[in-house]
Amino acid sequence: MINVGIVGGTGYTGVELLRLLAQHPQVSVKAITSRSEAGVKVCDMYPNLRGHYDTLAFSEPDAKALGAMDAVFFATPHGVAHALAGELLANGTRVIDLSADFRLRDADEWSRWYDQPHGAPELLEEAVYGLPEMHREKIKTARLIAVPGCYPTAVQLGYLPLLEAGLVDPSQLIADCKSGVTGAGRGAKVASLLAEASESMKAYGAGGHRHLPEIRQGLGDMQPNPVGLTFVPHLTPMIRGIHATLYSTLTAEPGDLQALFEQRYANEPFVDVMPAGSHPETRSVKGNNTCRIAVHRPSNGNTVVVLSVIDNLVKGASGQAIQNLNLMFGFDEHMGLNAPALMP
Ligand X SMILES: CC(=O)N[C@@H](CCC(=O)OP(=O)(O)O)C(=O)O
* Interface residue list for ligand X (CB under 6 A): 99-100, 149-150, 179, 183-184, 210, 233, 235
Is residue 177 part of the annotated active site? The answer reads no
98 binds ligand NDP (CB under 6 A): yes
CA distance 89 to 74: 13
**Contacts of the segment 136-143: beta carbons below 8 A, 24+ positions apart:** 136/327, 139/324, 139/327, 139/328, 140/327, 140/328, 140/330, 141/328, 142/94, 142/324, 142/328, 143/89, 143/94, 143/95
Q: How far is CA 35 from the centre of its chain?
A: 24
Minimum CB distance to ligand X smaller for 124 or for 273: 124
Which residues touch 4 (CB under 8 Å, ≥6 apart)?
Answer: 21, 27, 28, 29, 30, 31, 69, 70, 71, 72, 73, 325
Minimum CB distance to ligand X smaller for 183 or for 218: 183
Minimum CB distance to ligand X smaller for 68 or for 184: 184
Residues 208, 214, 215: CA angle, nearest 5 degrees: 85
Site for ligand NDP in 131-190 (CB under 6 A): 149-150, 182-183, 185-187
Residue 233 interacting entry, from ligand X, ligand NDP, none, C-beta within 5 to 8 Å by type: ligand X
Minimum CB distance to ligand NDP smaller for 80 or for 328: 80
CA distance 14 to 92: 22
Task: Compute the least distance from the CB of residue 209 to ligand X, in Å.
Answer: 6
Task: Compute the least distance from the CB of residue 38 to ligand X, in Å.
Answer: 24
Minimum CB distance to ligand NDP smaller for 35 or for 334: 35
Which segment (117-125, 168-176, 229-237, 313-321) binds ligand NDP by CB under 6 A?
313-321
Half-sphere exposure of residue 336: CA atoms within 13 angstroms, side-chain side = 27
Nearest one of 193, 278, 93 to 84, comparing CA atoms: 93
77 binds ligand NDP (CB under 6 A): yes
5, 10, 156, 271: residue in contact with ligand NDP (rule CB under 6 A): 10
89 binds ligand NDP (CB under 6 A): no
Residue among 43, 150, 177, 291 flagged as catalytic: 150
Which segment (196-204, 267-275, 308-316, 324-332) binds ligand NDP by CB under 6 A?
308-316
Which segment (2-10, 167-175, 200-208, 330-338) binds ligand NDP by CB under 6 A?
2-10
Half-sphere exposure of residue 302: CA atoms within 13 angstroms, side-chain side = 8
Query: What are 27's strand-pairing partners?
Result: 2
Q: How far is CA 91 from the centre of its chain?
A: 26
Residues catalogued as catalytic: 150
Residues that bind ligand NDP (CB under 6 A): 7-14, 34-37, 61, 75-78, 80, 98-99, 149-150, 182-183, 185-187, 312-313, 316-317
